Structure 1
Amino acid sequence: MKSPIGYRSAVSVGMRCCACALGATLWLSGCAVGPDYHQPAVAIPTQFKEAGTQWRLAAPNPQASLSTRWWDAYDDPELSRLVHAALQSNQSIAGAAAAYRLAQATVAADRASLFPTLGVDASASHSSSTTAEYAKAYASWEVDLWGAVRRQIESGKANAQSADATLAGERLSIAATLATDYFDIRQLDIDIDLLRQQEAVNGRILAITRTALAQGTASQVDLLYAQDTQEAVVANLQISQTSREQDEHAIAVLTGVPPASLSIAPRLDYVFREPEVPSVLPSALLERRPDVVSAERTAAAANALIGVEKAAFFPDLDLRAQGLVQHNTFATLFSLPTRMWSLGPSLAATLFDGGARVAAVHKAQATYDEDVASYREAVLTAFQNVEDSLSSLNHLRQQEHAFADIYQRNRQLLESVAAQLTAGTASEQSDLTQQVTLLTARQNLNDTQGALAKSGVGLVKNLGGGWMSSKS
């Protein structure tokens, strides 16, 4: 039976031998070829065009705590519960998390290349008179003279940070998509109820028109118009119901469950909330936007790979050590007279490669230039997205005020027509027509309020995750 102590001793001998080689060559490995990374410059505006003078960039405030639970500002427990479920169970997030772990493992594997490789092999031979035990230990180390491994690690770290930002972006995107679908459901809840009321009122108008046609006080055109109006409401009702069902299915998938497993009860009394946007926001908001961070880190990774390719122009130094020990008594297996070690460096360099290394460097430099352009494009797109959100919010607020005024005026008109109906100076059909007009005005107001809520979610997403100070 082989002694496990023998294996450990052989490894110890190999480690001591490699330690000597390490000390002899460590001073050579202080340099790293290739350009050091500097974050590419980008143009940052001093204010947002669509915000006028009321909403501009402020100086960064590192002490300001920015909440990642931006959905809590809507004060809707059901929305918060659904977002939490999505962040825990969504499969796109799970995939992005796996990609981040893979990037971290790649960094660990690259870092291992900085250290020697040690091993041991043991065997035994038997004869009629003796039993000889052999233990062969070996060690090798490719010295990172020109920093190729360190640049590879640098690139791997930047890629891992990019993957981390991608994960954060996926979480933000899933939460924003869910919130948008949720507000769409709440908007449709009220729309469906209003359309059903319109269907009932239009049904009564159609019946009155048929009676009037039979009595000769209405024309066939009046009947056709009443029928078309009723059918249009029925068609819109089907569209709204389909949209609500599909939004519910989408939320189920976002939360990681089959559509049949999730039902969201209608809320006819739902009130849309719009979190107050401060007049001044720190510029750090856009700096933390995940896609911008990911693009910048990708450029950093590409920059490090230029050094990796440039290091190929220089020779590689490979240190190898191996030893063989032999004895027929385990107790003295690793005593000095039985140890035989050899240590030898190997210096290897490519003399001719047909321009492959030059092409590899040019390829790495072009990749870096492409990634820098993508980063700058991501920054420009981020500002465009914020401007678009601000523009949408500005016009939707004015639209909401207009529809609110229209709704209030039509309430007053309905009260007036109802009074005339009671006094006998207005017909039932006039009263019903005004009811339809009021329901339409209420639907327009509701749709605008829902659009405002969804546009607010869009602003949160475009800023990289909200602006509300964390209470927790």
Structure 2
Amino acid sequence: MARKSVRARAFLFGSRPALAVVVGLGFGLSGCIPGSERPELNLEVPASYRTAIKGDADAAVPALAWWRGFRSGELTGLMESAQLYNLDIAVAIAQIVQADAQAGVSGAALLPSVSGTANAERERVASGSSTGGSGTFSQYSVGLTASYIVDFWGKNRSTLAASEESATASRYNREVVALTTMATVANTYFQILAAQDQIKVTRRNLAAADRVLALIKSQFNGGTASQLDLSQQEALAATQRAAIPPLEVTLGQNIAALAVLVARAPANFSVRGGSTTQIAVPRVTPGLPSELLYQRPDVREAEAQLASSNFSVEAARAAFFPQIQLTGSTGFQSAALATLFGPGAWYYTLAAGLTQPLFDGFLLESQLKQAKGVQLQNLQAYRKAVLSAFADVEKALIALQKYTLQERLQTDVVTSSRKAFEVAETQLRGGTVNLITVLQTQQTLFTAENNLVTVRLNKLLAASSLFQALGGGWTPAGTLAALQ
């Protein structure tokens, strides 16, 4: 019911001014977070994103398999391998098992405890004892003992509810880990492609520098070029040559990092790669900010943790009230094993007890304060998670928009720089250009091409960040309605 009410309110909030949402959200969201100890949230939810493209908000929400939009078969395979084999995800799954088991431990207090007993005693009493006689005596008994704590004040129910909400939070944590892993796989793969691009660009620039160097050497030998001209070109060629090893380090280290993400030994793992120019950037719209509260797993995790702390406060408060315990036992007891199960050997006892804390060194009061402190901490963490989610989307939208523009502008820079270098190289062959001009056009081209690779990488990283900021793939609205 809580999931459904959040979804319904999300659509309502998106159509109202931000100021009205500030007032309504405090009451609305606190009503959907379980527990009677619900603090006021007072969150501001904007009606739309500042950088979002105007139009249909649901035109291109993230697909469930959002990474397929990059149109890279190798990336898709890596994503699927990470989902199956990533060790961080495996750890998160193990934490779910622990949280479920803890919920079972907490729920055990709501059920009666029953145990069976069987005893056999043989005792010899010495003569002159206080019993006035001597001899050997036997005693046999079998029975059942049951006890039950009446949860009149709801302490055990609240403890169970807190554990269940913690188990829910562990499931959202698994989604957070999975989403972070998928984004990291994509980012690492893009960095591999960018390193390969930069190596290709640097080697191409080195070949161009060596070509010009050969021309200058020829002119130097002919007496038309100076030693300074030759040394400057040699330095430029050496600079390009020296730039290759650091790029190869980046490439190798990212491949090793990617191997760990898919749980492979780096020595047995390889990436074909390619070029950033072969990667498409999927079109995606962010939807309404209010919908993000449902789509982001870290927000849902923070919400579940806040709900868990609400129930923990209830349990700590209920501990101040009396505890009512019912106990009973029944069985058979006899001095002779042959008559143990006879009608006269049957016995039973029933008891009811009430325990009221009077003075415990302020233990219960301190436990209640601690629970309230955790509740306040989780409240602030939830508020930060919501606001950070909005900020993440805004930052990713800005980055994607600006890097897309910069890529187009930088492409023009590369085109013009390459044309200038080609003209300068042609004139150098004809001996009609100053060598300083040739040197400058080379440096401009080399810098422009490297910058273009960096811009393309930044654009791909911004696209990946946008999908991560939106919480990964969104369930289609029709499917979501059917599930609810």
TM-score of the aligned structures, taking structure 2 as reference length: 0.79
Contact kept in structure 2, 1:120 and 1:138, CA below 8 Å: yes
Counterpart in 1 of 2:468? 461
Which AA in structure 2 matches 1:257? R
Which AA in structure 2 matches 1:307? E
Given the alignment, which residue of 365, 378, 388 partners 1:381?
388
1:81 lines up with 2:77 in the alignment: yes
Distance 1:198 1:317 in 2: 84
Once structures 1 and 2 are overlaid, which stretch shifts more, 333-342 or 175-184?
333-342
Name the CA shift for 1:213/1:459 in 2 (closer, same or farther; >3 Å): same
Contact kept in structure 1, 2:61 and 2:474, CA below 8 Å: no
The percent of aligned pairs where both chains have the same amino acid is: 29
1:105 lines up with 2:88 in the alignment: no
Counterpart in 2 of 1:140? 147
In the alignment, structure 1 segments of 5+ residues that lack a partner are 1-33
Counterpart in 2 of 1:302? 309
1:114 lines up with 2:110 in the alignment: yes
Contact kept in structure 1, 2:57 and 2:285, CA below 8 Å: no
SS at match of 1:400: helix
SS at match of 1:49: coil
1:46 lines up with 2:53 in the alignment: no
Given the alignment, which residue of 404, 416, 424 partners 2:411?
404
Given the alignment, which residue of 379, 391, 402 partners 2:398?
391
Distance 1:91 1:149 in 2: 35
Name the CA shift for 1:284/1:335 in 2 (closer, same or farther; >3 Å): farther
The CA deviation at 1:144 is 1.2
Aligned 1:221-260 pairs, distance under 5 A: 221-260=228-267
Distance 1:67 1:399 in 2: 26
Distance 1:420 1:232 in 2: 24
Which AA in structure 1 matches 2:50? K
Name the CA shift for 1:43/1:331 in 2 (closer, same or farther; >3 Å): farther
Distance 1:287 1:470 in 2: 12
1:447-472 CA distance string (max 9 Å, x none) = 32222112100110111114596999
Aligned 1:15-414 pairs, distance under 5 A: 35-37=36-38, 40-51=41-52, 54=54, 67-124=63-120, 134-267=141-274, 271-278=278-285, 280-281=287-288, 283-326=290-333, 336-410=343-417, 412-413=419-420
Contact kept in structure 2, 1:321 and 1:344, CA below 8 Å: yes
1:40-96 CA distance string (max 9 Å, x none) = 342111122233x627967xx9xx996432111112121111111112111111111
Distance 2:227 2:357 in 1: 94
Contact kept in structure 2, 1:54 and 1:280, CA below 8 Å: no
Once structures 1 and 2 are overlaid, which stretch shifts more, 36-45 or 196-205?
36-45
Contact kept in structure 2, 1:56 and 1:281, CA below 8 Å: no
Distance 1:276 1:35 in 2: 43
SS at match of 1:113: helix
The CA deviation at 1:409 is 3.4
The CA deviation at 1:205 is 2.5
CA-based RMSD: 3.5
TM-score of the aligned structures, taking structure 1 as reference length: 0.81
Distance 2:275 2:43 in 1: 48
Once structures 1 and 2 are overlaid, which stretch shifts more, 314-323 or 170-179?
314-323
Which AA in structure 2 matches 1:388? K
1:264-307 CA distance string (max 9 Å, x none) = 12425851210012374574234321221111111111111111
Which AA in structure 2 matches 1:83? M
Name the CA shift for 1:184/1:468 in 2 (closer, same or farther; >3 Å): farther
Contact kept in structure 2, 1:121 and 1:137, CA below 8 Å: yes
Distance 1:244 1:410 in 2: 27
1:351-372 CA distance string (max 9 Å, x none) = 1123222222122112211210
Contact kept in structure 2, 1:460 and 1:467, CA below 8 Å: no
SS at match of 1:234: helix
Distance 1:438 1:312 in 2: 74
SS at match of 2:243: helix
Once structures 1 and 2 are overlaid, which stretch shifts more, 435-444 or 386-395?
435-444
SS at match of 1:45: coil
In the alignment, structure 2 segments of 5+ residues that lack a partner are 1-34, 124-134, 480-484
Distance 1:295 1:199 in 2: 53
Name the CA shift for 1:411/1:178 in 2 (closer, same or farther; >3 Å): same
The CA deviation at 1:104 is 0.8
1:387-408 CA distance string (max 9 Å, x none) = 1111111110110110222233
Contact kept in structure 2, 1:198 and 1:436, CA below 8 Å: no
Contact kept in structure 1, 2:168 and 2:301, CA below 8 Å: yes
Higher relative contact order (CA 8 A, sep 6+): 1
SS at match of 2:278: coil
The CA deviation at 1:176 is 0.4
Contact kept in structure 2, 1:148 and 1:307, CA below 8 Å: yes
Distance 2:404 2:223 in 1: 48
SS at match of 1:383: helix
Q: How many residues are treated as equivalent by the alignment?
A: 433
1:390-434 CA distance string (max 9 Å, x none) = 111111011011022223334555666677689x57679888986
The CA deviation at 1:331 is 10
The CA deviation at 1:183 is 1.1
Distance 2:374 2:138 in 1: 61
Which AA in structure 1 matches 2:238? E
Name the CA shift for 1:65/1:238 in 2 (closer, same or farther; >3 Å): closer
Distance 2:311 2:221 in 1: 86
Contact kept in structure 2, 1:281 and 1:467, CA below 8 Å: no
